[in-house]
Amino acid sequence: MGLAFSIFGVTFLLIASGGLLLFHREVMPQRFSDVVSLSPKKKNLSSSIRQATASLGNVVGHFESVLPKSQAEVSVIQQRLMRAGYRKQSAVSIFYGSKFVAMVTFAVLVVVTGLASISYFFVILVALAFGFLAPDFWLGKRISARQSQIRRGLPDVLDLLIICTEAGLSLDQATTRTSEELGKSQPAISDELGMVVLEQRAGCPRSEAWRHFAERTDVDSVRNVVSMLVQSEQLGTSVAKTLRVHSESLRTQRIQQVEEQAAKTSVKMLIPLVLFIFPPIFLVTLGPAVILMMDTFSKNFNH
C-alpha cells in the first residue's frame, strides 16, 4: 500500500512539473538567463510575492475549461468577484480553475489519509462536493468583509465630501479628492470611488456612474446615498446639506447598532455562565460538604 502511494505521489509531481513547464514555456528562457547571469536583479519581497501569486493564478486559471458552465452563471460569478474587489478579466478563469484544483486536492487527501476506506464512493463524492463549493464559501466571506469595510468607511467619505463641496469644489472634483485622500485609511470604498471617477471621465453620466457604484457594492447605506445624490441633482437642492443630514443619520445608526450589541451581551453570557461558570462554583462550594457527609455516613454504617 505504501509503495502504491509513493508511486502515485511521484507520478503526480512529474505531471505537475510538466504542466508548469508547458504553461510557462515563454518565460522559462528569461528565468534561466536570470539564474545564470552574474549580476542578478535585486527584487524586494513584495514584488516576489506578487509575481509568485500571479504565476500561481495563471497556472490555476488554465484548469477553468474543465468545469462546464453557462453564460448566465459566468455573469453571476463575475458580478460576485467585482463585489469582492477582483475586476481583472482572468478572475473568472482563476475562480473556476481553483474549483477544479480544490476538488482534486480534497480527493487526493481523502485517498492518501485512508478516509476513503470507510465508504469509497460516498467519501470521494463528499470530498469533490466540498472542493467544488469551497471557493464559493471563500468568495462569500470576501464579499461580506469588503461590504463591512465599505459600510464602516461611508461616514468618513460623506464628511470629506461635505468639506470639499463647502470649500467650493464640484461633486465630481470632490469625489476625485476623496478617493485620493482615503486611499490608505479606507481602501475598499476609495477603490469604488475611483471607479466612479473613471466612468465619469469615460463619458458616463454622473447618475449612472453612481448607480453602478451602488450595484457593485450591494450595500443598503450606499444605495440610500446614491438615491439621495441622484434626487438632489434632479431637484437642484444643496448637495452639502443633504450629505450632512445623511452622514449624521449614518452615525446615529452606528451608535444604535453598538447599543443593541451591548444590550445583547447579557443574554449571550447566559450560556457560558450556565455551562462553564456555575458548575465549578457548585463544585467548589458544595464539594467539601458532600465529602464530609459521605465520610460521616460511612462511619455510621461501619459502626
Q: DSSP string of 4-66?
A: HHHHHHHHHHHHHHHHHHHHTTTTHHHHHHHHH-SSPPP--HHHHHHHHHHHHHHHHHTTGGG
Q: 172 near 197, Cβ under 8 Å?
A: yes
CA distance 239 to 247: 12
Q: How far is CA 175 from CA 11, 158, 169, 241, 248, in A?
A: 56, 10, 9, 16, 19
The confidence score (pLDDT) of residue 68 equals 57
Q: For Cα atoms 45, 46, 50, give the angle at the middle one, nearest 5 degrees.
A: 120
The confidence score (pLDDT) of residue 47 equals 53
CA distance 82 to 85: 5
Q: How far is CA 146 from CA 7, 84, 92, 132, 209, in A?
A: 44, 6, 18, 23, 20
Question: What amino acid is encoded at 285 in this protein?
Answer: T
pLDDT tens per residue, range 167-200: 888 888 999 999 999 888 889 999 999 999 999 9
Cα 45 from chain centroid (whole Å): 23
Cα R_g (the chain), whole angstroms: 30
For residue 90, give the C-alpha cell: 482572468
Going by pLDDT thresholds of 50, 70 and 90, the confidence category of residue 6 is low
pLDDT tens per residue, range 55-71: 555 555 455 555 656 67
SS3 278: helix
The confidence score (pLDDT) of residue 74 equals 81
Per-residue pLDDT averaged across 121-142, rounded? 88
pLDDT at 284 over 80: yes
Q: Is the pTM of this model over 0.95?
A: no
Domain ranges of the chain: 1-29, 146-260
Per-residue pLDDT averaged across 40-51, rounded? 50
CA distance 284 to 45: 55
Q: 131 near 105, Cβ under 8 Å?
A: yes
